[in-house]
């Protein structure tokens, strides 16, 4: 008998290991240990019959096939895109021939310094007072995990985090594994395909005082729906009244509007209002460094002395998890952020990626309207970032896969980056047909 024979298979990942049967929102997935043995067996057997969006796409031989399930940018030809700024940074690194020694536990200092400057802004008071504790992380996921573990250990009140419904599917498992209790607040209104601002306000007003609240800083995943600056101000006030703790997840800075400053509005506004925020940053999307795993976790503290106490505890969180972070991606990001010409080129490329997505939104909207597609499609244009909640139903997404070779998650979420000049007309026609 193997040591691990009693370890149950976890539920399949909605993107990579599942197709058309569950939503992208892993909040609805049962935890492995909470599942009845018979249910687990049934799910395992059924699971083996299902395939993931990506696998189904790969197996499809039709030349018109489109994969809108992946959360990674694609260029005008549907190909992965390595930014010119990244290639140039790698060339600089190659010629400087750096060693491969371990980084410190909290990572490359010139990277983390530049990362928090990008997020909080050069004018940020806590930044200039040296009061922001920061550590490099294994991209955004790792930043959330470090944050969760730190809060699980040190947050002085009930260790409950409120996340929006829906949220990125990995939020619940990350925070549960960090030892936090995960609860939800309303966010998305299916009827308007927009923000349920009344529901959000009511829920946040009803949470216990001194709770933790997770906020998507920009380009909310999976809905593409963000609060307006005015709505952020109201949210900031409620969080202040509840003495709640805001934890920002910023996985798309620059990717939402094409402007890194504009996309940092919520984080910077909250800090200006005196909130001591926690922040998770990812350079996966905005630098296209997905597999390099570059990110940062930071906390605004009261002063440099508190900052150094907090940082020493962050080290204690990180050390038993992975000792120290990978060096190559952090060097790339650091070279880009700290070299003025490269930084300028990068900002231009972020804008180019965001603009291409925005132009696809326009074209999709115009096509759907021109084709007399029943329904209201304004949300396609108003939503922000990589993803769009189309409002397509699960049966419609199934038909699109089977009849039109178009793959998306069962909740009707599409990655706008998967659309381009070659496939947008075919996609619009297919959607129009399935809705009619
Ligand atoms: N947070 C959100 C909202 C995301 O959408 C993602 C990626 O899709 C992440 C965090 C983390 O991504 P990564 O770990 O690749 O940086």
The per-residue pLDDT for range 396-417, each reduced to its tens digit, is 999 999 999 999 988 899 999 9
Average pLDDT over residues 137-148: 98
Is the pLDDT at 35 greater than 50? The verdict is: no
* pLDDT (0 to 100) of residue 70: 83
Q: Which atom of ligand 1 is nearest to the CA of 294?
A: 16
For residue 169, how far is its CA from the centre of ligand 1 (angstroms)? 10
Is the pLDDT at 13 greater than 90? The verdict is: no
Terminal-residue alpha carbon distance, the chain: 56
- How far apart CA 313 and CA 105 sit, in angstroms, is 11
The per-residue pLDDT for range 419-435, each reduced to its tens digit, is 999 999 999 999 999 99
- How far apart CA 328 and CA 185 sit, in angstroms, is 38
Asked if 271 contacts 299 with a C-beta cutoff of 8 angstroms, the reply is no
- How far apart CA 356 and CA 364 sit, in angstroms, is 12
ipTM for the assembly: 0.99
Active site residues: 168, 249, 285
- How far apart CA 160 and CA 183 sit, in angstroms, is 7
* pLDDT (0 to 100) of residue 1: 73
What pTM did the predictor assign? 0.89
- How far apart CA 182 and CA 144 sit, in angstroms, is 13
The per-residue pLDDT for range 285-329, each reduced to its tens digit, is 999 999 999 999 999 999 999 999 999 999 999 999 999 999 999
For residue 147, how far is its CA from the centre of ligand 1 (angstroms)? 14
Cis bond before residue 51 (omega within 30° of 0) = no
Enter the tokens of residue 74.
């694609």
Instruction: For residue 212, list its beta bridge partners.
Output: 161, 245
Query: In this structure, which residue's CA is closest to atom 8 in ligand 1?
Result: 71
Average per-residue pLDDT for the chain? 90
The per-residue pLDDT for range 60-79, each reduced to its tens digit, is 999 999 999 888 999 999 99
Q: Which atom of ligand 1 is nearest to the CA of 295?
A: 16
For residue 1, how far is its CA from the centre of ligand 1 (angstroms)? 38
* pLDDT (0 to 100) of residue 55: 84
Residue among 165, 175, 251 whose CB has most ligand 1 atoms within 8 A, to mutate: 251
For residue 81, how far is its CA from the centre of ligand 1 (angstroms)? 18
**Residue 320 CA: distances (Å) to CA of 94, 105, 146:** 31, 10, 11
* pLDDT (0 to 100) of residue 52: 75
Residue with the bigger pLDDT between 328 and 15: it is 328
pLDDT band at 29 (very low <50, low <70, confident <90, very high): very low
Query: In this structure, which residue's CA is closest to atom 12 in ligand 1?
Result: 140
- How far apart CA 212 and CA 151 sit, in angstroms, is 9
Residue among 161, 282, 388 whose CB has most ligand 1 atoms within 8 A, to mutate: 282
Residue among 13, 136, 140, 253 whose CB has most ligand 1 atoms within 8 A, to mutate: 140
Q: Which atom of ligand 1 is nearest to the CA of 167?
A: 3
For residue 295, how far is its CA from the centre of ligand 1 (angstroms)? 10
What would the DSSP string read from start to end of 389-422?
E----HHHHHHHHHHH-EE--TT-EEEGGG--TT
Q: Which atom of ligand 1 is nearest to the CA of 141?
A: 14
Is the pLDDT at 17 greater than 80? The verdict is: no
Q: Name the DSSP letter for residue 206.
A: H
For residue 145, how far is its CA from the centre of ligand 1 (angstroms)? 11
CB burial readout 347-370, b (16+ within 10 A) else e: bebbbebbebbbebbebbbebbee
**Residue 402 CA: distances (Å) to CA of 26, 368, 397:** 24, 21, 9
> Ligand 1 pocket: which residues have CB below 6 Å?
71, 139-141, 168, 216, 221, 249, 251, 282, 284, 295
- How far apart CA 76 and CA 421 sit, in angstroms, is 7
- 155: CB partners within 8 A, 6+ apart: 212, 245
Instruction: State which H helix or E strand residue 345 sits in.
Output: helix 340-370
């Amino acid at each position: 008998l193997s040591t691990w024979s009693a370890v149950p298979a976890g539920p399949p990942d909605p993107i990579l290991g599942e197709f058309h049967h569950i939503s992208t929102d892993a909040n609805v997935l049962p935890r492995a240990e909470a599942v009845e043995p018979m249910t687990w067996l049934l799910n395992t057997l059924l699971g083996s019959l299902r395939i993931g969006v990506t696998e189904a796409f790969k197996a499809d031989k039709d030349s018109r096939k489109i994969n809108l399930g992946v959360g990674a940018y694609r260029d005008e030809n549907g190909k992965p895109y390595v930014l010119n700024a990244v290639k140039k940074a790698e060339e600089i690194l190659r010629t400087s021939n750096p060693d491969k020694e371990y980084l410190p536990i909290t990572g490359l200092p010139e990277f983390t310094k530049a990362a928090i400057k990008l997020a909080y802004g050069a004018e940020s008071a806590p930044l200039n007072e040296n009061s922001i504790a920061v550590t490099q992380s294994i991209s955004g996921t790792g930043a959330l995990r470090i944050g969760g573990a730190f809060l699980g250990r040190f947050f002085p009140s009930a260790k409950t985090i409120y996340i929006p419904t829906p949220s990125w599917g990995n939020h619940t498992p990350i925070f549960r594994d960090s030892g936090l209790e995960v609860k939800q607040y309303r966010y998305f209104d299916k009827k308007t395909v927009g923000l349920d601002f009344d529901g959000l306000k009511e829920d946040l007003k009803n949470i216990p005082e001194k709770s933790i609240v997770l906020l998507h800083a920009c380009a909310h995943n999976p809905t593409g729906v963000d609060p307006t600056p005015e709505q952020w101000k109201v949210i900031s006030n409620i969080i202040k009244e509840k003495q709640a703790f805001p934890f920002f997840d910023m996985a798309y800075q620059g990717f939402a509007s094409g402007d890194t400053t504009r996309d940092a509005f919520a984080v910077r506004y909250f800090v200006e209002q005196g909130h001591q925020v926690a922040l998770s940053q990812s350079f996966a999307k905005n630098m296209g460094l997905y597999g390099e795993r570059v990110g940062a976790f930071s906390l605004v503290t009261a002063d440099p002395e508190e900052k150094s106490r907090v940082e020493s505890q962050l080290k204690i969180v990180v050390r038993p998890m992975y000792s120290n972070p990978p060096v190559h991606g952090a060097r790339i990001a650091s070279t880009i952020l700290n070299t003025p010409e490269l930084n300028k080129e990068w900002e231009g490329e972020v804008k180019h990626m965001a603009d291409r997505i925005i132009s696809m939104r326009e074209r999709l909207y115009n096509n759907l309207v021109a084709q007399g597609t029943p329904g209201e499609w304004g949300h396609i244009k108003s939503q922000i970032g990589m993803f769009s909640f189309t409002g397509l139903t699960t049966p419609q997404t199934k038909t699109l896969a089977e009849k039109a070779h178009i793959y998306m998650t069962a909740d009707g979420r599409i990655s706008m980056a998967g659309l381009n000049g070659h496939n947008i007309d075919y996609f619009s026609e297919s959607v129009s047909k399935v809705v009619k």
